[in-house]
Amino acid sequence: MFSKSCEYAIKAMIFVAQKSDESNRIGIKEIAKGTDAPEHFMAKIMQDLSRRRLIHSVKGPNGGFYMDKSDLKNSIANIVKAIDGDVIYTDCVLGLKVCSEKNPCPVHNEYKEIKKNIIKMIEKNSIGDFKDKLDSARYFLKNNK
Q: Which residues bind a copy of itself (CB under 8 A)?
A: 1-2, 4, 7-8, 10-11, 14, 76, 93-98, 103-108, 110-111, 113-114, 117-118, 121, 125, 130, 133-134, 138-143
Q: What is the 3-state secondary structure (H, E, C) of the chain?
A: CCCHHHHHHHHHHHHHHHHCECCECECHHHHHHHHCCCHHHHHHHHHHHHHCCCCEEECCCCCEEECCHHHHCCEHHHHHHHHHCCHHHHCCCCCCCCCCCCCCCCCHHHHHHHHHHHHHHHHHCEHHHHHHHHHCCCCCCCCCC
Give the one entry of DNA, a copy of itself, none that residue 53 binds, where binding means its C-beta sits below a cut-off of 5 to 8 angstroms depending on kind: none
Q: Which does 62 bind (CB under 5 to 8 A by kind): DNA, a copy of itself, none?
A: DNA
Q: Which is nearer to a copy of itself, 2 or 89 (CB)?
A: 2
CA distances, 44 to each of 50, 57, 115, 126 (Å): 10, 13, 29, 23
Closer to DNA by CB, 57 or 75: give it.
57
Q: Does 68 bind DNA (CB under 7 A)?
A: no
> CB of residue 47 vs a copy of itself: minimum separation in angstroms?
20
Quick check: 58 binds DNA (CB under 7 A)?
Answer: yes
Q: In this chain, which of 21, 22, 24, 39 binds DNA, going by CB under 7 A?
A: 39
Q: Alpha-carbon distance 33 to 11, whole Å?
A: 11
Q: Which is nearer to a copy of itself, 30 or 104 (CB)?
A: 104
Residue numbers at the binding site for DNA (CB under 7 A)? 3-5, 8, 25-29, 37-41, 43-44, 46-47, 50-51, 57-65
